[in-house]
């Protein structure tokens, strides 16, 4: 069995963003040489997320509206966590959107449905963050 590890690095200039990382993950699969196995993709920061969904701009706007309704960024004073930092909302958004994706690899490719894509969700940007890609298989 083969094992492969790589960190993807992001420095999002905005506070929040949704970035399609499907091709970067597929590139890792290609580099690994794994033809049959599993890939784990997880955000290594508590204010970011990795999830699977459709790459449709209207849906991303819906995510933003929905998440802001559930955990609005402001006023910062509404959260007990906020003190040194002002990112309590980002922690809550990450909790909702999830930490990681585990996907099957078949014939060296992500084994996805027709519209599935992997996204990095940033909820407290403006600094460098990492995403772990871990692949195991044959």
Q: What is the pTM of this model?
A: 0.96
Residue 5 CB contacts under 8 Å (≥ 6 apart), including other chains:
132, 133, 134, 135
Q: What is the pLDDT of residues 79-121, one digit of tens each?
A: 999 998 999 999 999 999 999 999 999 999 999 999 999 999 9
Structure tokens at 132: 């772990």
Q: Please name each of the domains of the chain with its CATH number.
A: 2-137 (2.60.120.460)
Q: What is the pLDDT of residues 62-71, one digit of tens each?
A: 999 999 999 9
Say how far apart CA 78 and CA 5 lie, in whole Å.
39
Closest CA to 134 of 52, 33, 51, 42: 42
């Amino acid at each position: 069995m083969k094992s492969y590890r790589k960190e993807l690095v992001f420095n999002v200039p905005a506070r929040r963003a949704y970035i399609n990382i499907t091709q970067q993950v597929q590139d890792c699969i290609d580099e690994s040489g794994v033809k049959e196995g599993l890939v784990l993709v997880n955000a290594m920061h508590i204010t970011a997320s990795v999830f699977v969904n459709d790459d449709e701009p209207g849906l991303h706007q819906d995510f933003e509206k929905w998440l802001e309704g559930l955990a609005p960024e402001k006023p910062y004073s509404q959260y007990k966590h906020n003190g040194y930092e002002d990112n309590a909302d980002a922690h809550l958004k990450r909790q909702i959107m999830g930490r990681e994706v585990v996907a099957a690899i078949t014939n060296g490719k992500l084994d996805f449905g027709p519209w599935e894509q992997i996204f990095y969700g940033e909820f407290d940007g403006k600094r460098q963050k990492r995403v772990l890609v871990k692949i195991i298989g044959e």
